Structure 1
Amino acid sequence: MTPPHGGRRPLAALAAAVCAALLSTLATTAPAGAAEAQGDVSVAAGATVPFVTQEAEAAQHNGTAVGPDHTQGTVASEASGRRAVRLAAGQRVTFTLTAPANAVTFAYNIPDGASGTLSVYVNGQKLDRRLDVTSRHTYFDAPWIQGSKTHHFFAHGRFPLGRDLAAGDTVTLQVDAGDSAGPYVIDTADFEQVAAPAQQPAGSLSVTSRGADPTGVADSTQAFTQAVAEGRGGTVWIPPGTYRLTQPIYVENVTLRGAGSWHSVVRSSRFVNQGSSPGNVHIRDFAVIGDVTERVDSNPDNFVNGNLGANSSVSGMWLQHLKVGLWLTGANDNLVVENNRILDMAADGLNLNGNANGITVRNNYVRNTGDDALAMWSLPALNRNSVFENNTVVQPNLANGIAIYGGENITVRGNLVRDTNALGSGLAISNQAFLQPFFPLAGTIRVEGNTLQRAGALNPNWNHPMSALRVDAYNHAITANVQITDTTILDSPWSAIQFVSGSGTGLATDNVTVNRARIENVGTVVVQAETTGRATLSGVTATGVGSAGVYNCPFPTDRAPLTLTDGGGNSGWDTEWTDCTSWPQPGEPPQEPDPDRNLAAGRPVTVSSHTDVYTGQRAVDGNPETYWESANNAFPQTLTVDLGQATEVGRLVLRLPTPAAWGTRTQTITVRGGDQPGALGELVSQRGYTFNPVSGNQTTQALPTGTAVRYLQLTFGANTGWPAGQLSELEIYRR
């Protein structure tokens, strides 16, 4: 339920025309240099799940292939693998089982406003029952979120097959007469062997004994409320059946247990909504399926909204068609959330919203959320010592897969994130505050053994990418010890690892280490650095790099570029995209910069002093009528430009404003340069430079042949026209 993302001012370099061309390129094809894997690769990260997923595009079909497509707002861009199959009348897709199964869950899309059925066949024989499909819980809009478009195109329909099938058997979806909701887009089928219903635990209190209706016709709210109150200190049993609740229940010191998530089903859009609880609440082994048809952030349309209390757990649940699975506030110390399926949320899958101490979220499968799939917000209290581990996240369609916003000593370990879209990364480590009070990242943030596949997106607010893995000093500089280890990034459509200050204020990302990362197939760059700070990268190997290894262009441009320290063992990304006036299109190789381009334009500047508003950045702003002026009557004075990397330079042009009021003057200047600010060598000895308004108030200085510097410094020793160093433009050219 994240507030609007991406208030950052876009980089001036990233012109709308470039972005439009880039989006056009992506509209029908996968990015060059980011070849899609055929199916999903086998990785150790992620949840252990009780089902086998098959992709429709890899199955036998006579439909139309959809995708690949990475364009925001398209059906294919929200599909698993960015591919799916469209079925029209008479067309079919047939899945061949690879393991025993008696049930299947289909991910599908149909046109907005449609509902109906789709025929199901087993081993070529049509079943009496059809798959019910509806667009009721899809096609969401969130106009208050900057950069959002209509999204949430897919829904999941679960279907008991009514028999045990073996490996080699087939299940077919076919558009027959009477199936009029199409065209249908089929994304995946999850086949599983559902166990028989569990038996009622001895000594438990059944909700049916207090009048709950397992047919789902009568309202069972009062029966659940009574059973939960009477069952404190023990177990409340939810037998097989469907139960309709119209009001949330209050829980404390109780276990709510069902016969299994395919057998015990609660129909409720607000299951638990409470501000506090003494704790010891355990909710397990049933389904809560809501009826949320639009996202209203002020509504508590969640499975759990608020607080379960200390030493509680949520396990074995199936959560679907809610706004948020678990929106947790208050004290939930030592809570464990594990082995759950969270599908089709209008907003977040789970959000630890402050005061989350010692919470473990593990082995959950979260798919098709409308905001962050798993998030920790360290507001209005501090989150600490909490863990996201071994979760699988697929298709968050408006934000990040996993996001850590502030907090102390947080661990993100062994997770798998696939197919992010629009306004997020696969994994974000961020100091975006949203609200106050906010507690920035502190202590040690461990990001270990995660796999990100087809993760990252082109942010429409920034007009440039959010990487598969993002470190973001949004509202606060990052000073925590951020340790990123053993990361795998596969088939990223844009970029792999990003350092940014998303508010556009240029706050530093310091004290970050990236150790051992395997990057395969990335559309543009491996490292996308857009703010100042320091990071050390070791053992980072990259193959299939689309454009260049590094893009290091800070915003605002008066900030120093990120200092990237090579810790050794790196390979495959030693090239740099040097043109900060453009973002590479996927697969576009680095070009030699225009030799007639002013290399100093917009680059960071440091000066020994300035007077009033006449700052050093005015000397590289491209406007010859604005100027830098040093403190008066205090020579020498210096102005130093950082070109970002060692660059061959051949000529300087020095300018003062052109009006005649700027009378002729001579300034005594020494030119120095080098790779380190404190160790600059003399390039041109001290000499006088005359600026005459008759000749445009400019002068030129050639540099020694073969000069290559990162830092170029002018030292002003005197000025015959004013007792200060003055300069309206410093232009640096290759020739």
Structure 2
Amino acid sequence: MPRTLTAALLAAALACGLTAPATADSAEPAVTTASGSSGAPTTGGSHGTAPVVTRAALNPALVAGRGADVPFLEQEAENAATNGTVIGPDRSAYTLPAEASGRKAVRLTPGQYVEFTLPSRANAVTVRYSIPDAPGGGGITAPLDVTVNGRGRTTMTLTSEYAWLYNQYPFSNDPGADLLHPDWWITECSCVPNATTPPPVISKPFRPSHFYDEQRLLLGRTYRAGDRVRLTVPAASKAAWTVVDLLDSELVGPPKVEAGAANVLAFGADPTGRRDSAGAIDKAIAYAKRKRLKVYLPPGTYQVNRHIIVDDVTITGAGNWYTIIKGREVALPSPAPDGSVHTGVGFYGRTAAEGGSRNVHLSDFAIEGDVRERIDTDQVNGVGGAMSDSTIERLHIRHTKVGMWFDGPMTNVRITGNVIVDQIADAINFHTGVTDSFVSHNFIRNTGDDALAMWSEKSANSGNTFDHNTVQTPVLANGIAVYGGADNTISNNLIADPIREGSALQVGSRFGAVPFTGRLDITGNTTVRSGTYELNWNIGLGAIWFYALEKDISADIRVTGNDFLDNTYNAIMLVSEWSVKDLYSITNVRFKDIRVDGTGTSVVSARVKGSATFENVDARNVGAVGVNNCGSFGFPSTGSEFSLTDGGGNDGGWLAPWLLPNTITCDDRPPVVPPPAPSPW
């Protein structure tokens, strides 16, 4: 959703002293090696190293029962054999390690390699990587050779055409662009640039981000556990460097066949992708609805450069590795009524104003868009519109603006088993009046905004559940965000590595959302390496943060059974904004059966008036102090305006008796103590 700054926030913000490094074809964002120094080669495992399988760069035992069930196994490049350089760890925004899974990756120059040992049988791999932008923006392409056991070379063509954003929201593809908003507060100069004389010189490119992309490759045969997949940058590559973050390996089954369905080939669809197939798919849909059949998309790549409107229809492919719906972004001759200036590939229900669509079932194909810039009014999402009583399963969506954006009112949509990667904005957003819907076992990586969001802008989203999803490396904002609404549940998710201006979990009264009412359950989730640095406030956020910007947050909110691991700053944060600090409060939040393993600063940070209860909250490896209690900064003699209630069983000494109920312990910027790696409790 749109990201703007309030005038009062800008006036109250403090500088954080960041500088933006150069990012031309021969340069890259600042990196640190594993030793913490700059530039010294540090290699990963040696030849023949046993495979290290992780989930969100963690030992899988630490996240058992959390996150999505996925068909692939993750291996981080820093654990593989390489003659390249391990970069990181680093959690500073605008750096390559910070956007890598686990905050580490491997940098290769031409001629260098990284080699993964397969942990299980596989016939397909996914490579997450970064290569430089073109000096003037727009991206480049570069080769990457793939061999298995030293044989059968295949060359992947990597691209940075969908990566590399710069500048302020809503960002630019031009590394040389001037400030998009010279009237905004800039932490780098501690100023509002257009209010200074002379204007400050801002380093260009300014705030580079969104460095990574990923590609999938079918290997042509099945390989055994122990076989070695080597990724080599050819000596003649024009890319000065290639960063490999990870490799996912998978055993993909044969293509699915739907006998008796309306096959789009019979209606003129072109599986080679040379001709536009949108009209043929429309004809197949119309025929299938008349005959009460499914629509089948057999293996192939189908060119579609506009929305396919779906209502009361089932569309299924041969599997998302085999059936690909791919399209260009197309400029409209004049803006559409909704403000769109482009269209592109997507499957859309009818709008809610038209009554929405019902009984739509989409499964087993990929959607590949062509979105390279963020224009919030554009409807260039993989799936959109309103769809009630519908299911969306096993899709693979990349390079669209938002994977799935739903404008309600609508009800009863089930979204399960999808992979959504490399988005300019969100992965899935329930926007306005989405009810009784379920989002489960989806894998999401590299979004440009909230990965999963319930945004009750005009009417409440209610009765929805986000359960057992995995979210990794959202470049901006939060892993999972709930903005207003009633009786929703966030459960059993795994959220890792948010990069900037967000957290793993956010409960926010902002963006014009209706109030929170009823009950909100946040249960059984695991977060890791979360809690980013808020540039404009000059403070670190929590892995979970409550933000009362526009209204009180006073619903029945229960945070139960969550694990907050390796928190960059705070584990739990409750905050208002300076301009409304005396207006809004956060109350009635209950934390129970929580484990906090490692904080850079505090277990709880309160910068708002209100109260919360803590029961069986166990913490260890706390960096500064258990509680940072600033309240609403009135500092009355009676104590902080925020009170903590001890429900009992809080272990680790973080909630000492002298802190209760409202001792002022306000230090927003204590020295950060990097916590040790998480370990079994």
Could you state the TM-score of these two structures normalised by the residue count of structure 1? 0.75
Matched, 1:563 2:621: no
Q: Deviations over 1:505-561 (max 9, x none)?
A: 122110000001111111111101110101001111111111111100123436843
Matched, 1:279 2:358: yes
Matched, 1:329 2:407: yes
**1:514-593 map, 5 Å:** 514-557=591-634, 560-572=640-652, 573-574=654-655, 580=666, 583-587=669-673
Matched, 1:460 2:531: no
Q: Which residue of 2 is the match for residue 135 of structure 1?
A: 160
Distance 1:60 1:504, change over 3 A: farther
| 2:147 corresponds to which of 115, 118, 121 | 121
Shift of 1:580: 3.2
State the AA in 2 paired with 1:226.
Answer: K
**Paired residue secondary structure (2:98):** helix
State the AA in 1 paired with 2:214.
Answer: H
Q: Which residue of 2 is the match for residue 705 of structure 1?
A: none
| 1:144 corresponds to which of 169, 172, 175 | 169
Alpha-carbon distance between aligned partners in 1 of 2:525 and 2:35, rounded to the nearest angstrom: 23
**1:466-485 map, 5 Å:** 466-485=541-560
Shift of 1:143: 2.3
- Contact 2:569–2:672 at 8 Å: present in 1 too? yes
- Contact 2:56–2:472 at 8 Å: present in 1 too? no
**1:382-393 map, 5 Å:** 382-393=460-471
Alpha-carbon distance between aligned partners in 2 of 1:459 and 1:234, rounded to the nearest angstrom: 52
Distance 1:21 1:214, change over 3 A: closer
**Paired residue secondary structure (1:231):** helix
Q: Which residue of 1 is the match for residue 177 of structure 2?
A: none
Q: Which residue of 1 is the match for residue 196 of structure 2?
A: none
- Contact 1:270–1:300 at 8 Å: present in 2 too? no
Q: Which residue of 2 is the match for residue 166 of structure 1?
A: 224
**1:330-729 map, 5 Å:** 330-432=408-510, 434-435=511-512, 438-502=513-577, 504-506=579-581, 507-557=584-634, 560-572=640-652, 573-574=654-655, 580=666, 583-587=669-673
Q: Which residue of 2 is the match for residue 717 of structure 1?
A: none
Q: Which residue of 2 is the match for residue 241 of structure 1?
A: 300
Distance 1:553 1:65, change over 3 A: same
Alpha-carbon distance between aligned partners in 1 of 2:646 and 2:588, rounded to the nearest angstrom: 14
- Contact 1:530–1:561 at 8 Å: present in 2 too? no
Alpha-carbon distance between aligned partners in 1 of 2:553 and 2:225, rounded to the nearest angstrom: 51
- Contact 2:347–2:384 at 8 Å: present in 1 too? yes
Structure having the higher strand fraction is: 1
**Paired residue secondary structure (2:309):** coil
**1:211-360 map, 5 Å:** 211-232=268-289, 233-268=292-327, 269-273=344-348, 274-276=350-352, 277-308=356-387, 310-360=388-438
Q: Which residue of 1 is the match for residue 238 of structure 2?
A: 180
State the AA in 2 paired with 1:77.
Answer: A
Alpha-carbon distance between aligned partners in 2 of 1:412 and 1:501, rounded to the nearest angstrom: 22
Alpha-carbon distance between aligned partners in 2 of 1:152 and 1:493, rounded to the nearest angstrom: 20
Q: Deviations over 1:484-522 (max 9, x none)?
A: 000101111111000111464122110000001111111
**Paired residue secondary structure (2:357):** coil
Shift of 1:578: 6.2
Shift of 1:9: 2.6
- Contact 1:6–1:502 at 8 Å: present in 2 too? no
- Contact 1:8–1:462 at 8 Å: present in 2 too? no
Distance 1:380 1:503, change over 3 A: farther
Q: Which residue of 1 is the match for residue 191 of structure 2?
A: none
**Paired residue secondary structure (2:603):** strand
Number of aligned residues: 576
Shift of 1:472: 1.6
**Paired residue secondary structure (1:120):** strand
- Contact 1:27–1:71 at 8 Å: present in 2 too? no
**Paired residue secondary structure (2:377):** coil
Distance 1:142 1:251, change over 3 A: farther
Alpha-carbon distance between aligned partners in 2 of 1:263 and 1:123, rounded to the nearest angstrom: 25
Q: Which residue of 1 is the match for residue 4 of structure 2?
A: 4
Distance 1:585 1:178, change over 3 A: same
Distance 1:21 1:584, change over 3 A: farther
Alpha-carbon distance between aligned partners in 2 of 1:563 and 1:22, rounded to the nearest angstrom: 38
- Contact 1:475–1:503 at 8 Å: present in 2 too? no
Q: Which residue of 1 is the match for residue 247 of structure 2?
A: 189
- Contact 2:568–2:674 at 8 Å: present in 1 too? no
Shift of 1:562: 1.2
Distance 1:149 1:137, change over 3 A: same
**Paired residue secondary structure (2:285):** helix
State the AA in 2 paired with 1:265.
Answer: I
**Paired residue secondary structure (1:551):** strand
| 1:71 corresponds to which of 92, 95, 101 | 92
Shift of 1:574: 3.4
Q: Percent sequence identity over matched residues?
A: 39
Q: Which moved more, 1:211-220 or 1:181-190?
A: 181-190
Q: Deviations over 1:195-250 (max 9, x none)?
A: 100012x3310111110000000011110111112222431000000000122111
- Contact 2:296–2:316 at 8 Å: present in 1 too? yes
Distance 1:53 1:581, change over 3 A: closer
State the AA in 1 paired with 2:158.
Answer: V
Distance 1:6 1:242, change over 3 A: farther
**Paired residue secondary structure (2:562):** strand
- Contact 1:69–1:82 at 8 Å: present in 2 too? yes
Q: Deviations over 1:43-94 (max 9, x none)?
A: 1210000000000001111101111111111111100000000001221100
- Contact 1:11–1:462 at 8 Å: present in 2 too? no
- Contact 2:20–2:208 at 8 Å: present in 1 too? no
**Paired residue secondary structure (1:229):** helix
**Paired residue secondary structure (1:324):** coil
Alpha-carbon distance between aligned partners in 2 of 1:107 and 1:497, rounded to the nearest angstrom: 31
Shift of 1:579: 5.9
Structure of greater Rg: 1
Give the root-mean-square deviation of aligned CA atoms: 2.6
Shift of 1:30: 9.5
**Paired residue secondary structure (1:117):** strand
- Contact 2:357–2:386 at 8 Å: present in 1 too? no
Alpha-carbon distance between aligned partners in 2 of 1:580 and 1:31, rounded to the nearest angstrom: 34
Could you state the TM-score of these two structures normalised by the residue count of structure 2? 0.81
State the AA in 2 paired with 1:517.
Answer: I
Shift of 1:28: 4.5
- Contact 1:7–1:502 at 8 Å: present in 2 too? no
Q: Deviations over 1:649-675 (max 9, x none)?
A: xxxxxxxxxxxxxxxxxxxxxxxxxxx
